[in-house]
Amino acid sequence: MIAELQCVVLDCPEPQALAEFYRSLLGGNVNQPDRRWSLDESWATLHTPSGPVLAFQQAPDHVPPRWPDPTRPQQFHLDLGVPDLDRAQEEVLAAGGTLLDGSDGRGWRVYADPAGHPFCLVRH
């Protein structure tokens, strides 16, 4: 092993707001003190209950992906496991997410966070 994953960092225009959006989906603590990085208006973190840390870095000229447009690719996405897709969708939309692909008959749906990053809710 060469390295250990510290966190996944998402560029966005408003780090604090995006950290709060993901906290509403995943739970956890926004901007929990952590010796690995400093926090300011250009950087926010979310320590999730299951362990992974998401970080949000301000990018003033952020151009969001446009799923599934290949001219503005998603670059990466998060898969979030849920027991009930319909109930989770209601909560995601209420928190500020946008449904991108809700095709029925699959065990997953595609959404965008408020900064435009795609993520999937996957039934587990």
- pLDDT of 53 > 90? The answer is yes
Rounded Cα distance, 88 and 93, in Å: 9
Residues 53 and 83 in one domain: no
What is the mean pLDDT of the segment spanning 86-109? 92
Residue 3 in domain: no
pLDDT tens profile 71-96: 998 888 898 999 999 999 999 999 99
Residue 86 in domain: yes
Q: Are 78 and 111 in contact (CB under 8 A)?
A: no
Q: Are 42 and 15 in contact (CB under 8 A)?
A: yes
Total tally of structural domains belonging to the chain: 2
Question: Among 44, 53, 51, 29, which Cα is nearest to 115's?
Answer: 44
Domain limits for position 105: 78-123
Residues 51 and 82 in one domain: no
Residue 71 in domain: no
Q: Which two tokens stand for residue 44?
A: 């926010």
Strand order in the sheet with 108-112: 78-82, 118-123, 108-112, 98-101
